[in-house]
Amino acid sequence: MTSLADIAGVGTDPRRGGYSRHGFDRVELELRTWFTEEAGRRGLSVECDRNGNLWAWWGAPGDGAVVTGSHLDSVPGGGAFDGPLGVVSALEAVDILRAKGFVPGKPFAVVVFAEEEGGRFGVACLGSRLLTGAIAPDAALRLSDSDGVTLAEAVRAAGLDPAGFGPDAEALRRIGVFVELHVEQGRGLVDLGVPVGVASSILAHGRWRFSISGEGNHAGATLMVDRRDPMVAAAQVVLAARRAATSVDGARATVGRLIPNPGGTNVIPSSVDLWLDARADDDARTRAVVAEISAAASEVAAEEGCSVTVSEESYGETVVFDAGLRDKVSDVLGGVPALPSGAGHDAGILAGHVPTAMLFVRNPTGVSHAPEEFAEADDCAAGVVALASVLEELAR
Ligand SMILES: [Zn+2]
């Protein structure tokens, strides 16, 4: 048996609550070791690909495999389920299939993708983006964490060779189909009254960095009329994000991270960096929301005597999951509902290359990316049984 309880003590965050487990940090490496041991106990052979993703093969590796899995990293102060539930469920699904004597007729692997949340280096789905070529390796390796450690340095410290990072046609060819089980990050299944559903689509979404520069100065000695305060502009960008997203049906815009420089209570900051996460049903709406916020940022920065630059750090177009696979999965499960996902996933990155599907497990509060994220044990068990059924059908 493998369960989330096995890793409940790894990476707890006493300051934020919940878990902080980030790509290639000490905690995530400990979870990788745990995964490798769990896979090994089942006789699966584990290998790390060129981009730091872990693959546990049931039988010989090969092209066109049935692949399932998720990620082990979290957002800062995240919940216990986002990511690890998909990994644990994959291992448990293998147990169910083996117990009934099933032998896959195709290559079969459980995968753990690296740095899915972008919690350390800022770009979500980093492992799957690198593998598929959705991000250039040079740009990725230059990304740095809040301590200034670059991805290249971090992976080297983890024993990987950054020179090998980049598009991996061989690894991609090995994926025939990918099925990711995930805790639902909304209340769709609660409202429908069912424990398990399938994903229909993923919103177009991205991250943008707004760097606002003004004049650093003394909080007491500088008259209000003399200030060029980038924090005042930043505050208005936050409000503009709320306004812009509210005016577009289904759009979401969030500023969850803001860093004033130098960051002293009695100091007018010289600059403020803030990060915008924006999402909507399609690319045009997402772009329109970001354009409106960017225009507002230029305006409020100018009013404050500041300047602003906006840079796109990552972007993913709307993903519509393979309809044939989605219907097949739903049929195997006796007709479960299909739901859109407001959250991005490695399955969304891979969907542009191979048929992918997602199973969602009911989340009673809908809260995710927070310590309160939850799924009932019975629903998690239903998810494992559903995943096993789907994998059995796909790998027979
Ligand atoms: Zn996730």
- Tell me, what's the pLDDT at 346? 97
- pLDDT at position 7 over 90: yes
- What is the Cα–Cα distance from 297 to 237, expressed in whole angstroms? 6
Q: What is the pLDDT of residue 12?
A: 98
The amino acid that residue 195 corresponds to is P
| pLDDT of 1 above 80 | no
CA 6 and chain centroid, separation: 22
| Tokens 């972007």 sit on residue | 315
**Ligand 1 centroid, distance to 125 Cα (angstroms):** 9
CA of 82 to the centre of ligand 1 (A): 4
Cα(362) to centroid(ligand 1), Å: 14
Question: Residue range 40-66: average pLDDT?
Answer: 97
Q: Answer whether residue 351 shows pLDDT above 80.
A: yes
395 CA from centroid of ligand 1 (Å): 24
Which amino acid, one-letter code, is at 111?
V
195-214 pLDDT, tens digit per residue, is 999 999 999 999 999 999 99
Q: Do strands 54-58 and 108-113 pair parallel, antiparallel, or not at all (unpaired)?
A: antiparallel
d(CA 192, CA 66): 29
CA–CA distances in Å: residue 153 to residues 26, 72, 233, 245, 309: 14, 20, 35, 37, 28
In this prediction, residues 356-385 reach a mean pLDDT of: 97
pLDDT digits (tens, 9 = 90+) for 299-334: 999 999 999 999 999 898 999 999 999 999 999 999
Taking residues 213-232, what's their average pLDDT?
98
Nearest to 130 by CA among 159, 177, 168: 168
Distance in Å, CA 346 to ligand 1 centroid: 8
Tens of pLDDT, residue by residue over 328-341, are: 999 999 999 999 99
In angstroms, what is the span from residue 270 Cα to ligand 1's centroid? 36
Q: Which two tokens stand for residue 248?
A: 């577009």
Distance of CA 350 from the midpoint of ligand 1 (Å): 14
Q: What is the mean pLDDT of the chain?
A: 97
The rounded Å distance from CA 304 to ligand 1 centre is: 39
Please tell me the distance between residue 9's alpha carbon and the centre of ligand 1 in angstroms: 19
Distance 182 CA to ligand 1 centre (A): 7
Which distant-in-sequence residues (6+ apart) come within 8 Å of 77 by Cβ? 13, 15, 16, 17, 18, 19, 20, 370, 371
Q: pLDDT band at 2, cuts 50/70/90?
A: confident
The interaxial angle of helices 283-303 and 230-246, nearest 10 deg, is: 150
Give the largest CA-CA distance in the chain: 78
- Residue 369 C-alpha to ligand 1 middle, in angstroms? 9
Mode of pairing for the β-strands spanning 196-202 and 338-341: parallel
Q: What percent of the chain has pLDDT over 70?
A: 100
Confidence of residue 283 (pLDDT cuts 50, 70, 90): very high
Q: What is the pLDDT of residues 102-118, one digit of tens each?
A: 999 999 999 999 999 99
Separation of alpha carbons 372 and 389, rounded Å: 29
Report how far ligand 1's centroid is from the alpha carbon of 18 (Å): 15
Distance of CA 117 from the midpoint of ligand 1 (Å)? 7
